[in-house]
């Protein structure tokens, strides 16, 4: 079957992408690692010894970058519905974060350890229909925020991918009740046409404000 014009266009754009080339040259699993690199380094989010949870981790670019940045210190726990080839120093759970059994498995692995940084790059399989995609994406975002509510230590940081549209403003308002500082970022490695942005929430309150 011949490829469509849009498929050819995507392949041409993908392989000419400077971040794809950089990832290949540096042995990174995905170009997404450079989104995280910019977001983390701008605000100095990582410190030696931190416990980090990476939600929506596959194919592993974020976990790989965090593990390399932490060196031999700290802990990286990753989860995704898709399987992911193992990474040295990364504990991985393959499962659907929307299922209680998978969440229980993640909580058991943490075994009560407070988390310093929760990362979420989760996204549903996009259909191209906003009325379908946005509610699915927002549901995952709500689950990630609930997880951070329970497991992120006071003062900790939550970084999450969001899609602008219905529910976005309400979600950001909810973050502002939970964290001392909330900003919206769009890293250079995020494609301009993509509706994705990243909400960075720092300084988790002991209890939601207001």
| Domain ranges across the chain | 31-204
Per the annotation, does 62 bind a ligand?
yes
Query: Of 107, 103, 113, nearest to 49 (Cα)?
Result: 113
Per CATH, the number for 31-204 is 3.40.50.150
Per the annotation, does 167 bind a ligand?
no
- Report the chain (210 residues): mean pLDDT per 10 consecutive residues: 50 56 65 86 94 96 95 96 95 95 96 96 81 89 96 97 93 97 91 86 86
d(CA 151, CA 165): 28
Per the annotation, does 80 bind a ligand?
yes
**Cα–Cα distances in angstroms (integers) from residue 171 to residues 61, 86, 114, 190, 198, in the given order:** 26, 33, 24, 21, 12
Exposed/middle/buried for 109, CB within 10 Å: 0-12, 13-18, 19+?
middle
End-to-end CA distance of the chain: 57
Per the annotation, does 72 bind a ligand?
no
Tell me the whole-structure pTM to 2 decimals.
Answer: 0.86
Per the annotation, does 17 bind a ligand?
no
Catalytic residues: 161
d(CA 66, CA 90): 9
């Amino acid at each position: 079957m011949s490829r469509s014009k849009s498929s050819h266009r995507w392949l041409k754009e993908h392989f000419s992408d400077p971040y794809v080339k950089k990832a290949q040259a540096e042995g990174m699993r995905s170009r997404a690692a450079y989104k995280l690199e910019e977001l983390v380094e701008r605000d100095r989010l990582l410190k030696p010894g931190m416990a980090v949870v990476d939600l929506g981790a596959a194919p592993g670019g974020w976990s790989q970058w965090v593990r390399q940045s932490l060196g031999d210190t700290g802990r990286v726990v990753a989860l995704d519905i898709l399987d992911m080839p193992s990474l040295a120093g990364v504990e991985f759970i393959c499962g659907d974060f929307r299922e209680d059994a998978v969440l229980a498995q993640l909580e058991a692995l943490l075994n009560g350890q407070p988390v310093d940084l929760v990362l979420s790059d989760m996204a549903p399989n996009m259909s191209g229909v906003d009325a379908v995609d946005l509610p699915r994406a927002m549901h995952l975002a709500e689950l990630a925020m609930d997880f951070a509510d329970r497991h992120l230590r006071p003062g900790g940081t939550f970084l999450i991918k969001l899609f602008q549209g219905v529910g976005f403003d309400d979600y950001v308002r909810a973050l502002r009740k939970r964290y001392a500082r909330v900003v919206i970022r769009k890293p250079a490695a995020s494609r301009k046409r993509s509706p994705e942005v990243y909400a960075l929430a720092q300084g988790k309150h002991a209890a939601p404000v207001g």
